[in-house]
Each structure stands twice: as C-alpha cells, then as structure tokens.
C-alpha cells in the first residue's frame, strides 16, 4: 500500500494514498473504536451531509466568497457523495466525542479529495482545494452536523410514515372484514361485554393513524435548522446573508420546507426536537407492542386458549414439540419496541446533558434515533406483511366463548338494577345454572324478555333501555 503525508495542528501522519478521507478522519478511526458501525451505515445521513455542503458552496459562490471553479468542483463532489459513490470512505464510528466534528471532517476531506480528483489533481493537494478553507467555508460542525442530522431524520421518518400508513390501511381492512364477528370484550383480562372483532381492529387502525399525524408534525419541526449559526449561533466567520441564502438553497435542493431558526443561539444549544421525535417513536412503540400482545392473547391456544383468531404460520415453533407454531412476528415486533423505548431514555439523557451554548452529545442522539427509525420501519413492514394481512377469524369459537360468558348480563342492570343483576350473576356462578333460568326462577324476567335484552347483536351500540323504575316496581 502506498501513502501520502498529511499534516494537521498535531503533526504529520501517513494516509493511504487511495483514500478520499484525510488525516483527521484517520485520527478519529484510531480514537473511536466503539460500535464498529461506520457512520456510512446510515446512508441518509451521508446524503444529508452532501446536500448541506452543496448548499453552503452554492451560497458562498453567490456571495463571492468562493471561487467558481473550486465551488463547481465541490458541488460535483457532493453529487457523487449523495449518490452513494463514496459511502465506503465515511469510516468514522457513528459514536464519537467532539460533538460530531469527526463526521464533519470526514465529509470535508472526502468531498475535498473528490473535488481535487475531478479537477485533475492528486488527493491531498490542499493548497488547491482545502477541506476547511473551501469545503467548510462559512460553516462549523455545530451548524452542519445538526442540520444534516435533521434532514436525515426527516428522510428516515418519511420511510416510517409510509410503513405506518400501510399498516393502518391493513388494520382498517381487517376491521371491515371482521365487522360481523361478535365476541366477548375483556377488561383486566376478565369478561366484559360483547364487541365485534372488527371494532377491535378498527381501533388499532385509529391509534396508528394518530401517530401518523403526530409524526408529520415532528417532521415539520425538524425542518427548522441552524445552518448559518456557525460555532455558537452568532454566525462568526460567515458573511451577511449567507445563512438565509444557504437555507433557501437547501430547501430547493432537498425539496423540504427548510427554514432557518429565528434564534440561532437557541437552535444551536437546544435538542428539544430530538426529544420530541424520540418520544413519539416511544409512543408508537408502546402502541404497537400493545397490539402485538393483544394478537398473541387472541390467538393463544389453539386448543386451550382463546383462539379467536389465527395468525399466519410463518415457521415451525419448537425443536421438541412437533406441530407447534409460535406468534414469532408479534414477538419480534415487541422486542423492537422495547429497544426503542430504551433508546428514548438515552436520547433524553443526552439532550438534558448539553451545557451552555452547545450540546456535544449529538452522535449518541443520532445513533439512537437512526436505529429507532430504522428498526421500527422494518418492524412495521414485517408486522403488516407477515402477520396482519394473513390473520383470519374463528367465528364459531368467538360465539362459543360469548355464549359461555356471564359478561352479557351487564345488559340486565338497567332492567332489574345493578345489585339484583350482581346477585343473579353470583347465583349462576355458584349453581352453574344458565342466567335465563335463574331469572325465571326468581321471577325477575321472562325467557322472551331475557332473550331480547341479552341478544349480543343488540349490545354493540347505544339503545333505548327498559325503564328501571318500572322494573323495580315490578
């Protein structure tokens, strides 16, 4: 292997001659052997860095701060980076110290050396195009890194949004399909009152849709960036008009409603938007885990459990019990949800720990949010495709459980009073007699009245009930 010699404020180092990254990236490689996951694993982040650098170069050219030939070379290099042609050169560990400086320098060096190459020069000729003097002109890690992070989060969130919409629609279709399947609802795992299986699935669709709306709101919040703030929000080392122009170009390049924060000092130090997004991902995870637990309960058995629904069998379930099939898709999605809930705590603590004018813990915030978005998006697709779409209902089993439950006697309360109804239930349980027989023996209600009042199909919505006083007088 051949090398080129580069230097920085700490001295000289030999860098592989073919590498597009430079000395500062090399130092970061040595210093941060943490996760073994390079920042390029999250490709949207690299693409976002490329568009930020492109917008900065275009704004600097327009304002006369950057030579047009150098600027054009940087812009073309940014295009190559955005297209993924240089992903293997973004080698810094996703978690590092320095508030993201190593990632920013990795981008500066790769873009610089690619620009040099496109201009017909050897890598490392920083006297012609420099990573800091040109690629990082009018910028700081403290505005580049968070701006790129926000853009990447919006892009990843769009993928999750698409998955959630598909899941919502699949649940809604199941709600319609199971609309006539009457079953016993349960509260605190005990028999409650009749409901339809369709109503349960329709409710799942609604709860997912709520988070779709919230995610769209958070995405708009993330589009407010601090580009132009440079180090602490004062815009030092940039010229008047640069920040506003760079943000406008960034909006045009990305097609996102990017706007510059009204107070750049606040925007540079605050991590509230990340906490909001992380909290929403946790909220969505809590909901999805609840749905998955419901599916496991409703499909339990099949012979000794509820067995109200059938989950699609996707793989054999046991190495020792022949024929056993487990609810592995709800299980894996629940585990994903647990991971995201844990990630939210990390994001919360990292956001809280920022001091004074900068939060230095952007890398751990980025890592956890990227992971949460990535695995939740995959989990949502898996749940829909491998589970929800293939669920079938066991109509007869639902009816059997309904008929055998004392929960339907809730409808007796308006007719004979709560206390009398409770006594009927207790006697039916102790004597093992049907409720109708107990009512008849006590002279509280005829069989015809009982059948009318406790018809499950008429207990699914509000209805005009018998007059309680007339029942008590009787």
| 321-333 residue pLDDT tens | 888 889 999 999 9
Mean pLDDT, to the nearest integer, of 137-166?
Answer: 98
Is the pLDDT reported for residue 118 higher than 50?
Answer: yes
pLDDT at 469 over 60: no
148 shares a domain with 240 = yes
Q: Tell me the whole-structure pTM to 2 decimals.
A: 0.92
- Domain assignment present for 59: yes
Here the tokens at position 416 are 């004979």
Q: Is residue 401 part of a domain?
A: no
Clarify whether residues 392 and 445 are in a common domain: no
Q: What is the DSSP letter of 270?
A: -
What's the domain count of the chain? 3
How far apart, in Å, are the Cα atoms of 108 and each of 24, 56, 133, 150, 340? 10, 12, 10, 19, 32
CATH value at residue 452? 1.10.40.30
Domain boundary, last residue among 137, 154, 178: 137
Single residue among 358, 375, 396 that ends a domain in this structure: 396
Say how far apart CA 7 and CA 21 lie, in whole Å. 13
For residue 246, pLDDT over 90 is answered with yes
Q: Once rounded to an integer, what is the mean pLDDT over residues 410-424?
A: 84
243 lies in the same domain as 165:
yes
d(CA 121, CA 123) in angstroms, rounded, equals 7
SS3 358: strand
CA 220 to chain centre: 15
Marked catalytic residue, from 9, 140, 300, 318: 318
Of 107-116, 410-419, 451-460, the range with the highest mean pLDDT is 107-116
pLDDT class of 467 with cuts at 50, 70, 90: low
For the chain, the average pLDDT equals 93
The whole-number pLDDT of residue 292 equals 98
- Containing structural domain, residue 53: 3-137
Q: What's the CATH code of the domain at 122? A: 1.10.275.10
Asked if the structure places residue 286 within a domain, the reply is: yes
Q: Residue 466 — very low, low, confident or very high, per pLDDT cuts 50/70/90?
A: low
Establish if 271 belongs to a structural domain.
yes
Distances from the Cα of 46 to the Cα of 99, 106, 110, 127, angstroms? 16, 10, 11, 26
Q: Is 318 a catalytic residue?
A: yes
Pair 319, 293 in one domain: yes
Q: Same domain, yes or no, for 225 and 247?
A: yes
Whether residues 349 and 370 share a domain: the answer is yes
> Which pLDDT tens digit goes with each residue over 63-87?
999 999 999 999 999 999 999 999 9
Please tell me whether residues 180 and 298 are part of one structural domain.
yes
């Amino acid at each position: 292997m051949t090398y080129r010699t580069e230097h920085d404020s700490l001295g000289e180092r030999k860098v592989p001659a073919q590498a597009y990254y430079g000395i500062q990236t090399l130092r970061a490689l040595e210093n941060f052997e943490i996760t073994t996951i390079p920042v390029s694993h999250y490709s949207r982040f690299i693409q976002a860095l490329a568009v930020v650098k492109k917008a900065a170069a275009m704004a600097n050219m327009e304002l006369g701060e950057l030579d047009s030939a150098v600027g054009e070379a940087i812009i073309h290099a940014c295009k190559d980076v955005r297209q993924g042609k240089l992903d293997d050169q973004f080698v810094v560990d996703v978690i590092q110290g320095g508030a993201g400086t190593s990632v920013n320098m990795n981008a500066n060096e790769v873009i610089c050396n690619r620009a040099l190459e496109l201009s017909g020069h050897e890598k490392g000729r920083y006297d012609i195009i420099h990573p800091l003097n040109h690629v990082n002109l009018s910028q700081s890690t403290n505005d580049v890194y968070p701006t790129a992070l926000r853009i990447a989060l919006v892009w990843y969130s769009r993928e999750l949004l698409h998955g959630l919409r598909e899941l919502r629609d699949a649940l809604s279709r199941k709600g319609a399909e199971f609309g006539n399947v009457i079953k016993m609802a349960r509260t605190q795992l005990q028999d409650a009152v009749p409901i339809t299986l369709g109503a349960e699935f329709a409710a799942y669709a609604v709860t997912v849709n709520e988070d779709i709306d919230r995610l769209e709101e958070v995405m708009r919040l993330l589009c407010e960036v601090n580009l132009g703030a440079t180090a602490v929000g004062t815009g030092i080392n940039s010229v008047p008009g640069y920040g506003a122009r760079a943000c406008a170009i960034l909006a045009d390049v990305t097609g996102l409603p990017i706007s510059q924060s009204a107070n750049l000092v606040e925007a540079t130090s605050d991590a509230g938007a990340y906490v909001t997004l992380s909290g929403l991902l946790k909220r969505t995870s809590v909901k999805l885990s609840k749905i998955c637990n419901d599916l496991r309960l409703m499909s339990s058995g099949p012979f000794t459990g509820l067995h109200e629904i059938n989950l699609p069998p996707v793989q054999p379930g046991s190495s020792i019990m022949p024929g056993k099939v487990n609810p592995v898709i709800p299980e894996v999605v629940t585990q994903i949800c647990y991971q995201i809930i844990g990630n939210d705590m990390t994001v919360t603590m990292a956001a809280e720990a920022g001091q004074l004018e900068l939060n230095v813990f952007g890398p751990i915030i980025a890592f956890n949010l990227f992971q949460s978005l990535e695995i939740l998006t995959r989990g949502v697709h898996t749940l829909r495709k491998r589970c929800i779409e293939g669920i079938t209902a066991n109509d007869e089993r639902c009816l059997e459980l309904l008929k055998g439950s004392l929960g339907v006697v809730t409808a007796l309360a308006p007719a004979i009073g709560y206390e009398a109804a409770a006594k009927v239930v207790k006697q039916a349980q102790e004597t093992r007699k049907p409720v109708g027989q107990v009512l008849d023996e006590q002279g509280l209600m005829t069989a015809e009245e009982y059948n009318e009042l406790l018809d499950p199909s008429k207990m699914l919505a509000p209805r005009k009930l018998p007059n309680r006083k007339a029942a008590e007088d009787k």
